[in-house]
Structure 1
Amino acid sequence: MVNPDQPARRRDGKFHRARIRHSIFTLGLDRLTGGRLLRSHLAKPLAVRSFDVSMPGWPAEWDGLRVGHFSDLHYGDLMPVERGLDVIDRLGALRPDLVAFTGDMVDLDCDGAEPLFERMTALGAPLGAVMVIGNHDLLDDGERVRGMARDAGVRVLDDETVALDPDGLELAHVGAVDGNGPTTPLVVAGIDWDGAVKGLARRVDRVAGEHPS
C-alpha cells in the first residue's frame, strides 16, 4: 500500500535492474513452479551456531562477552517477516550481550521491514543493537532503511566508531568481575576501515563489522 505522506522515491538504474532480475529469477520462477521456490526456502531449517573466539590482549573483564551476530536476512518475497522474526528470536534465546547485524536486512523493497528492527532491540541486549548497511539495503531507499533502524533504537554505524558504555554491565552467563561491570571501553566500528580506523584510540579492544557491496 502506498502511503500518501511518504515522499515519492527516486529509484536509480541499479534498483530497476535488480527489480527485473528479481521478477525473472525469483517471482517468475516461483510462479512457473507453482510456488515450489518459496516452499523450498521456507522448508530449510534455521540453524544457530556458537563459536568461542580467543583474542590476544582481550581484557579479562570482558571475558564471556556474547555477541549475537546475524547478516543477510534479505526480507522480501522469499523471506517473509514472520520467518525473519523467528531468526531474530532464536538469536535472542542465546541471551547476547550485544546484537550485531552486518547488512542486507531487506532484499529489494523495504516496505514492511520495521518489525525486524524493532525485534532486534526488543531482545533487550545490555549493550544494545548495532548494524551496518548492506548494498541491498540501499537499492530501494537507503535513508528510509536507516530511519527504520534508528527509530527502533538500532545504532547504524556508517563509517564510524562508537564506544559502548560498560557501566553496570553484568555478563549474563559469567557474572560481573568483583561485583562490578567491565571498565575497559568496547569499541564497535562500522567500516570503511581506512576512514574509520582514524577514530579508534590506540590500545582499545575492537569489534569490527563490514558488509562489502
Structure 2
Amino acid sequence: MVIVFVLVALAVLAVVAGLHRYLWRRLVRDTTRRRGPARRVGTVVLVAGPTLMITALVAERAGAPFWLQRTLAWPGFLWMALWLYLMLAVVAGEAVRPLLRRLIEKRAPARAPAAEEPEPETASVAASAEGAARDDANAPSASAPRAAAPTSGPAAVRPAPDSPAAGPPAPYSSATPETADFTRRLFVSRVVGGAAATAAVVTVGYGTYGVLRGPSVKRVTVPLAKLPRSAHGFRIAVVSDIHLGPVLGRGFAQKVVDTINATQPDLIAVVGDLVDGSVQDLGPAAAPLARLSARHGAYFVTGNHEYFSGAAQWVEEVRRLGLHPLENARTELPAFDLAGVNDLAGESEGQGPDFARALGDRDTSRAVVLLAHQPVQVHEAVKHHVDLQLSGHTHGGQLWPGNFVAAAANPTVVGLDRYGDTQLYVSRGAGAWGPPTRVGAPSDITVIELASRQA
C-alpha cells in the first residue's frame, strides 16, 4: 500500500513539474533574453510557486503546527488558483500565437525564411562567424603572391563606404533574416504571455475578493405537499462549506454569522465542512457561531472535512457553541420533522450515515427535511421518502471549469432539483477550500422558504 502511495505521489509530482516547465517555456524562456534578470526572476517564481503549493497541502494534511500552516497557506493556495488560470490562458494563447505572427509577417517587409529562431546572442555569434568565413574566402591564399596596392590610377581612388559614390549598402546581411524572425517571435511571445499572465492575475484577484467580502444571500421557495398551512413561509437559512482554516478565520466566521442573522430565519442548517483543522487550532475562529440566532435554533451535520479534522471533537464543540448536532438523528418541529445524517466519510471511522436510524419509525404523514452534506446521499433519501434534502459539498465547482468535474461526481451541482418525490437543494457554500478564490461559482447562504400547497 505504501509503495502504491509513493508511486502515485511521484506520478503527480512529475505531472506538476511537467506542466510548470511548459509554463516556464512559454512565459519565461520565450519572452526573455538569455541570462537577463527577467528570466532569473521568472524562473524563481515558477519554481517557488509549486513548491509552496505542495508544501501547503502537505502541511495541512499532516497537521503541521498551525503557525506554519498559516504561513504557507496564502501563497501556496493562491498559487494553486493562479496556476490553473495561467495554464488555461497559455493554452488558449497557443491558438492566438500563429494568427498574431502571421499578421505581423504580412505587415513587415519580406524576409528570407529563417531556419531557426536564435536568441540575440546566438544571432550575433552566427553573424560574426559568417563574416569571418567571408573574409577568409576573399583573402588571398598564403601561396599566392600579393598584388601591390595601386598608388595611382582609377583603382587608387576608392569612395568611402558612407559616401554617395559607394552606392546603397546591401539591404540585409545573411544573418539579418534570422535576427528579424527572432525579434518577431519574441514580440509575439511577449504579447501572448503578457495577456495570459494579466488575465490569470485579474481572474484570481477578483475571485479572491469575492470570497473575502463574504457570501451573498439567495432566496428559494420550495413547495412541500405535506407541509401544513400554519408553516407556510417557514424560512430555513442553509449554510455549508464555510471551511474555517489557516486562510479563512474568525473574521470570516463573523461575516457569515452576521449575514445569516440579518435574514431573520426561523431555523439555521449548517450542512457540513465547517472547518479544516482541529478544535485546538480553530476553536477561536469558530467562536462567533455562538451568536447564530433563529426561532427554532441552529442544527449541524458533519461533512467529509470534519472527519479529516476530528469529527467527534467538533461535534462537541458546536454543541458547546449552542448548535444542535444531528448525528443520524431526527427532531420533531411543530410543522415537520428535521433529520440529519452523518457524512459518507464517517464510514471509515464506523460513523457513516444511518438513514434507518434517522428516519425510521416516523409519522410518514408529516413532511421531513433532511440535512445531508453530499448531494449523492439523495438516492438513499428517495428510498426513505424524504420530502426535501439540503446539501452542500460541491462548492458549485468553485473554480471554473471545476463545475464540470463536480457534475461528474454529483447528481446535482447547485440549485433545486427533483428525484422522484424527493426534492434536493444544493448550496454553493459560504467559503472555499484550498484557494480562497471562486470563479464562476460565487459563495452564498440560501434562505429556503417552505410553501404549503394548502395555503
Structure 1 length-normalised TM: 0.70
Q: Residue 69 of structure 1: SS of its match in structure 2?
A: strand
1:1-213 alignment runs, 5 A limit:
19=61, 26=73, 29-30=76-77, 42-44=208-210, 45=213, 46-110=215-279, 111-114=281-284, 116=286, 118-164=287-333, 166=334, 184=335, 186-191=336-341, 192=353, 193-212=355-374
- Structure-2 change in CA distance of 1:27 and 1:124 (3 Å): closer
Task: State the 1:21 CA deviation.
Answer: 11
Q: Which amino acid in structure 2 is aligned with residue 123 of structure 1?
A: L
Task: State the 1:138 CA deviation.
Answer: 1.9
- Structure-2 change in CA distance of 1:60 and 1:114 (3 Å): farther
Structure 1 gaps of 5+ residues are 1-14, 167-183
Q: Deviations over 1:140-162 (max 9, x none)?
A: 22121111111111100011111
- Structure-2 change in CA distance of 1:121 and 1:84 (3 Å): closer
Structure 2 Cα separation of the partners of residues 21 and 143 of structure 1: 17
Post-superposition, which runs of at least 4 consecutive aligned residues in structure 1 deviate over 4 A? 15-18, 20-23, 25-28, 30-33, 38-42
Structure with greater proportional helix content: 2
Is the Cα contact below 8 Å between 1:121 and 1:153 reproduced in 2?
Answer: yes
Q: Deviations over 1:80-127 (max 9, x none)?
A: 2211220121111010010110001102344233553x5445232110
How many equivalent residue pairs? 177
Q: Which amino acid in structure 1 is aligned with residue 61 of structure 2?
A: R
Q: Which amino acid in structure 2 is aligned with residue 66 of structure 1?
A: R
Q: Which amino acid in structure 2 is aligned with residue 58 of structure 1?
A: L
Is the Cα contact below 8 Å between 2:338 and 2:370 reproduced in 1?
Answer: yes
Q: Residue 224 of structure 2: SS of its match in structure 1?
A: coil
- Structure-2 change in CA distance of 1:121 and 1:68 (3 Å): farther
Is the Cα contact below 8 Å between 1:41 and 1:78 reproduced in 2?
Answer: no
CA RMSD of aligned residues (A): 3.4
**Share of identical aligned residues, percent?**
23
> Who is 1:5 aligned against?
none
Q: Which amino acid in structure 2 is aligned with residue 190 of structure 1?
A: G
Is the Cα contact below 8 Å between 1:73 and 1:104 reproduced in 2?
Answer: yes
> Who is 1:176 aligned against?
none
Higher Rg of the two aligned structures: 2
Structure 2 Cα separation of the partners of residues 48 and 125 of structure 1: 16
Q: Which amino acid in structure 1 is aligned with residue 320 of structure 2?
A: D
Structure 2 Cα separation of the partners of residues 199 and 26 of structure 1: 47
Q: Which amino acid in structure 2 is aligned with residue 122 of structure 1?
A: R
Task: State the 1:79 CA deviation.
Answer: 1.4
Is the Cα contact below 8 Å between 2:271 and 2:373 reproduced in 1?
Answer: yes
- Structure-2 change in CA distance of 1:84 and 1:197 (3 Å): same
Structure 2 length-normalised TM: 0.35
Structure 2 gaps of 5+ residues are 1-56, 81-200, 342-352, 375-392, 394-455
Is the Cα contact below 8 Å between 2:253 and 2:288 reproduced in 1?
Answer: no
Q: Residue 149 of structure 1: SS of its match in structure 2?
A: helix
- Structure-2 change in CA distance of 1:73 and 1:101 (3 Å): same
Q: Residue 113 of structure 1: SS of its match in structure 2?
A: helix
Is the Cα contact below 8 Å between 2:243 and 2:273 reproduced in 1?
Answer: yes
Structure 2 Cα separation of the partners of residues 61 and 91 of structure 1: 24
Q: Deviations over 1:1-31 (max 9, x none)?
A: xxxxxxxxxxxxxx979615997x9556258
Structure 2 Cα separation of the partners of residues 18 and 115 of structure 1: 16
> Who is 1:10 aligned against?
none
